[in-house]
Amino acid sequence: MIQYDEQNQIFHLNNGEISYVIKITQELQLIDLYYGGAIDFENDFMDLLNQSNTGFSLQHPSGIPYEKMSMTYGTFGKYSLNEEAFLVKDKEGRVINDFIYSHYEISNQKTILTTLPSSYDNQKLSQTLILYLKERSNDLWIELHITIFPEKPLLTKHVQFKNKSSEIYTIDLAMSGVFSVDGEFDQVIAFNGAWIKEFTTVKNQLSNGKLSFSNYNGVSTHTYQPFLALAESSSRDNRGEVHGFALMYSGNFKASVEKNIYKQTKIQMGINPFLTSWDLKSDSIFETPEWISVYSDEGFDKMTHVFHDFFLNNVMPCYEENRLSDVLINSWEAFYFNIDEEKLVELGLEAKSLGVEVLLVDDGWFENRNDDTDGLGSWVLDRKKFPNGLKVIKEKTGLKLGLWFEPEMTHLKTDRIIGKNFSLTPSRNQFVLDFTREDLVDEVFEKVKKVISDFEIDIIKWDANRPISDLFSENLENQGELYHRYILGVYRFAKKLREHFPHLIIQSCSAGGGRANAGMLSFALSTWVSDNTDACERLRIQQAAAMFLPLRAIGSHVTASPNHQMLRETSFAFRSHVALFGTYGFELNILQLSSEEKEAMVKAISFFKRHRKLIQTGNYYKLKGNDLSTQDEYAHMVVSKDGREVIVGVFQIASKANWEGMRLPLKGLEKKAGYEIHGKVYTGSYLMRIGLHFKQVFTGVQSDIHEKIGKIGFGDRTSEVIYFKKCY
Question: Of 465 and 652, which has the nearer Cβ to ligand GLA?
Answer: 465
Closest CA to 592 of 346, 254, 292, 356: 346
Residue closest to ligand GLA (Cβ): 363
DSSP per-residue string spanning 45-68: -GGGG-----SSS---TT---GGG
Question: Of 409 and 497, which has the nearer Cβ to ligand GLA?
Answer: 409
Question: Using the 8-state DSSP alphabet, how is residue 551 labeled?
Answer: G
**Least separation in angstroms between CB 404 and ligand GLA:** 6
Assess contact for 478 and 496: CB atoms under 8 A.
no
**Least separation in angstroms between CB 520 and ligand GLA:** 14
**Least separation in angstroms between CB 364 and ligand GLA:** 8
**Least separation in angstroms between CB 326 and ligand GLA:** 18
Question: Of 217 and 617, which has the nearer Cβ to ligand GLA?
Answer: 217
Assess contact for 312 and 617: CB atoms under 8 A.
yes
Give the integer Cα–Cα distance in Å for 216 and 368.
31
**Least separation in angstroms between CB 20 and ligand GLA:** 39
DSSP per-residue string spanning 662-711: EEE---S--TT-EEEETTEEEEHHHHHHT-EEE-----SS-TTHHHHBTB
Question: Of 104 and 336, which has the nearer Cβ to ligand GLA?
Answer: 336
**Least separation in angstroms between CB 142 and ligand GLA:** 40
What is Dmax (Cα atoms) for the chain? Answer: 89
**Helix H or strand E segment including 597:** helix 595-617
Question: Of 357 and 531, which has the nearer Cβ to ligand GLA?
Answer: 531
**Least separation in angstroms between CB 9 and ligand GLA:** 52
Assess contact for 554 and 312: CB atoms under 8 A.
no
3-state secondary structure 455-500: CCCCEEEECCCCCCCCCCCCCCCCHHHHHHHHHHHHHHHHHHHHHH
The residues annotated with a catalytic role in the active site are 463, 531
DSSP bridge partners of 202:
190
Question: Of 179 and 332, which has the nearer Cβ to ligand GLA?
Answer: 332
Question: Of 4 and 335, which has the nearer Cβ to ligand GLA?
Answer: 335
**Least separation in angstroms between CB 456 and ligand GLA:** 21
3-state secondary structure 69-99: CEECCCCCCCCCCCCCCEEEECCCCCECCCE
**Least separation in angstroms between CB 465 and ligand GLA:** 5
How many Cβ atoms from other residues are within 10 Å of residue 33's Cβ?
A: 23
Question: Of 332 and 620, which has the nearer Cβ to ligand GLA?
Answer: 332
Question: Of 70 and 465, which has the nearer Cβ to ligand GLA?
Answer: 465
Q: What's the angle, vertex CA 79, arms to CA 78 and CA 85, rounded to 5?
A: 65
Give the integer Cα–Cα distance in Å for 553 and 526.
4
Number of separate helices (H) and strands (E) present in the chain: 12, 40
Which residues, 6+ apart, have CB-to-CB distance to 67 below 8 Å? 54, 57, 58, 81, 82, 260, 262
Closest CA to 505 of 324, 309, 335: 324
Assess contact for 666 and 687: CB atoms under 8 A.
yes
How many Cβ atoms from other residues are within 10 Å of residue 610's Cβ?
A: 10
Question: Of 458 and 531, which has the nearer Cβ to ligand GLA?
Answer: 531
- Phi then psi for residue 405, to 5 deg, are -135, 150
Question: Of 65 and 402, which has the nearer Cβ to ligand GLA?
Answer: 402
In terms of Cβ atoms closer than 10 Å to its own Cβ (0-12, 13-18, 19+), residue 253 is buried
**Least separation in angstroms between CB 443 and ligand GLA:** 22
Closest CA to 228 of 266, 262, 261: 266
- Phi then psi for residue 290, to 5 deg, are -75, 145
**Least separation in angstroms between CB 624 and ligand GLA:** 28
Question: Using the 8-state DSSP alphabet, how is residue 321 labeled?
Answer: G
Question: Using the 8-state DSSP alphabet, how is residue 312 labeled?
Answer: I
Helices (H), 225-362: 299-310, 332-335, 341-354
Give the integer Cα–Cα distance in Å for 491 and 498.
10
Question: Of 177 and 348, which has the nearer Cβ to ligand GLA?
Answer: 348
How many Cβ atoms from other residues are within 10 Å of residue 262's Cβ?
A: 13
**Least separation in angstroms between CB 494 and ligand GLA:** 18
Enumerate binding residues for ligand GLA (CB under 6 A).
332, 362-363, 404, 463, 465, 509, 511-512, 528, 531
